[in-house]
Amino acid sequence: MARLLILGAGVAGHTAASFAQRWLGKKHEVVVVSPNSMYNWIPSNIWVGVGRMKPEKVVVELAPIYRKAGIDFRQARCLSIHPEGGESGGQPYVTVECTDPARRGEREEIAYDYLVNATGPKLNFGATEGLGPEGNSLSVCTYGHAEAAARAFEESIQRMERGEHQEIVIGTGHGMCTCQGAAFEYLFNVEQELRRRGVRDKATLHWLSNEYEAGDFGMGGMHLKRGGYVTHSKVFTESLLAERGVNWHLRAHTTAVEPHKVHYETLDGENHELPFDFTMLIPPFAGVGLQAYDRKGAEITERLFNPGGFMWVDGDYQAKPFEQWEASDWPRTYQNPHYPNIFAAGIAFAPPHPVSKPMKSVNGTPIFPTPPRTGMPSAMIGKAVVASIRDMLNRGATEPTHTASMAEMGAACVASAGTGLFNGTAASMTVYPIVPDFKKYPEYGRDLNLTFGELGLAGHWIKYILHVMFLYKARQRFGWSMIPE
């Protein structure tokens, strides 16, 4: 019997664990290590953040699900990986620190035959002075953050109802953020909630982003088929911002967040300020900070992780100008090049290069979106990785048998622009491939027959249906495996 150890129980990790148990059954052991007791369907946090959904509606308790499925769940935080075992030999192992209240702070070693790193990101609020819930801004990155944002938003609305004007700033809290889409969704849910409460005229809304153009979203923008025409996402996005009366400030690196004031630098080197009464700014992501050690105890972290803490996999990380990067440089199997029994999935893997063009201000400050690796791609990668491990364990495969390159897969995204079964709206978009391939699609980098977008009420219904379906799937209810990633 072999042991598959999965670090993390987010979209990538939970998907990997669920399929691993289904495919491996009782022949092998599946162990999941996660510091959190809950699985959070993060796309719905935006609705929590405006008070339209309770936090308990976006989470699922992990222990009962894994207990029923026969998965060994350890509520703990991984500290280090020892891929060569100990000095006296033996299996490779990880060191973890328990976060379960009953055993908090205890440490233990967990041996493994195969390891999947699906730890997700560290929310790096510390990269910007004053950023985050412990500082002077709000977040919707976790359900707890979103609940706190909802309380602050309600206070802001009450001030408007008393006749006060409010300045609202929503966007990115650093020049190298990803997940602009989540902030964008939150912006428009805030705007619709203000209209629903009859106080829209009492608020000025600002969109603050590190994108070079609106609608970049870390994918270099995209061309969409819409209404029979080819439209760039810049036009689509700016039209929506203008229609909703939102001011936008782009090419911006947030340098500091003071009480009631955001400071930011733009690509032209100018420094600006935005006063606010309410602000939600997405942090940049980093790896969770795992360390690695060889058999003798010497640190070998750089063999497993890049300087940002993300795991090296089978991508082409050779340094070269942005214009020379190709779609084929992106990883396909997510296997670590030094230790073939270690894989990464979701945000935990190191992207080989940005999709949006890297830019620096005249002061040398990097200001550009980093690649998105969340949601549907994370789930597809997690599933592909454990399918390869299954074939190695059960079918004698000597190398990965399944691939999930972001340059060879499409993705569907439904971005809420305001909740409500009768007056909600959402932008429904598909993109293929996620990472553009200008060799295969020389004009736009993507297949326009599979890349399109529409805005409307139907999109909101789709997003809500997806909310229900994916929480059903997370609970491993009857037929869960038939719901696509």
CATH of the domain at 10: 3.50.50.100
**Per the domain annotation, does 70 fall within a domain?**
yes
State the helix-helix crossing angle for 62-69 and 11-24, rounded to 10 degrees: 20
Collect all residues with Cβ–Cβ distance below 8 Å to 29 and sequence separation of at least 6.
Answer: 1, 2, 3, 4, 72
- Residue 419's pLDDT is 83
Q: What is the mean pLDDT of residues 100-112?
A: 94
- Residue 231's pLDDT is 84
- Residue 245's pLDDT is 97
- Token pair listed for 260: 């009631």
Q: What is the mean pLDDT of residues 18-39?
A: 96
Q: Is the pLDDT of residue 89 over 80?
A: no
- Residue 425's pLDDT is 83
Distances (CA, A) of 210 to 351, 368, 443, 482: 19, 6, 26, 38
In whole angstroms, what is the distance from residue 226 CA to residue 241 CA?
18
- Residue 165's pLDDT is 98
Residue 429: pLDDT band with limits 50, 70, 90: confident
At residue 385, the 3 state secondary structure works out as helix
DSSP secondary structure letters along 54-70: -GGGSEEEHHHHHHHHT
Of all residues in the chain, what percent carry a pLDDT higher than 90? 85
Q: Of 410 and 300, which is predicted with more confidence?
A: 300
Residue 460: pLDDT band with limits 50, 70, 90: confident
C-alpha torsion angle, residues 45, 464, 7, 15 (rounded to 10): 180
Distances (CA, A) of 152 to 133, 144, 181, 274, 345: 11, 13, 21, 19, 34
What's the domain range around 376?
Answer: 3-123+286-394
Residue 179: pLDDT band with limits 50, 70, 90: confident
C-alpha torsion angle, residues 436, 182, 186, 476 (rounded to 10): 120
Domain count, the chain: 1
Q: Of 167 and 219, which is predicted with more confidence?
A: 167
Q: What is the mean pLDDT of residues 45-74?
A: 97
Phi first, then psi, for residue 299 (nearest 5°) are -70, 130
β-bridge partners, 6 = 32, 116
Q: What is the mean pLDDT of residues 107-136?
A: 97
Does residue 253 contact residue 129 with C-beta atoms inside 8 Å?
Answer: no
Whole-model pTM? 0.96
Q: What is the mean pLDDT of residues 181-191?
A: 95
pLDDT digit string, tens, across residues 239-298:
999 999 999 999 999 999 999 999 999 999 999 999 999 999 999 999 999 999 999 999
Mean pLDDT of the chain: 94
Collect all residues with Cβ–Cβ distance below 8 Å to 50 and sequence separation of at least 6.
Answer: 150, 153, 186, 189, 190, 193, 419
- Residue 128's pLDDT is 98
Of all residues in the chain, what percent carry a pLDDT higher than 70? 100
- Residue 91's pLDDT is 94
At residue 433, the 3 state secondary structure works out as coil
- Residue 236's pLDDT is 84
- Residue 378's pLDDT is 95
**Per the domain annotation, does 341 fall within a domain?**
yes
> Among candidates 411, 443, 14, 365, which has minimal Cα distance to 181?
411
* Parallel, antiparallel or unpaired: strands 166-172 and 278-282: parallel
- Residue 415's pLDDT is 81
Q: What is the mean pLDDT of residues 385-391?
A: 98
Distances (CA, A) of 178 to 124, 181, 284, 354, 460: 12, 8, 6, 11, 23
Q: What is the mean pLDDT of residues 430-436?
A: 92
- Residue 87's pLDDT is 79
- Residue 421's pLDDT is 78
**Per the domain annotation, does 15 fall within a domain?**
yes
**Per the domain annotation, does 324 fall within a domain?**
yes
**Per the domain annotation, does 369 fall within a domain?**
yes
- Residue 456's pLDDT is 86
Q: What is the mean pLDDT of residues 1-25?
A: 96
- Residue 447's pLDDT is 93
Distances (CA, A) of 477 to 9, 37, 63, 376: 17, 19, 15, 20
- Residue 459's pLDDT is 83
Residue 413: pLDDT band with limits 50, 70, 90: confident
Q: Is the pLDDT of residue 33 over 80?
A: yes
**Per the domain annotation, does 264 fall within a domain?**
no
At residue 217, the 3 state secondary structure works out as coil
pLDDT digit string, tens, across residues 61-77:
999 999 999 999 999 99
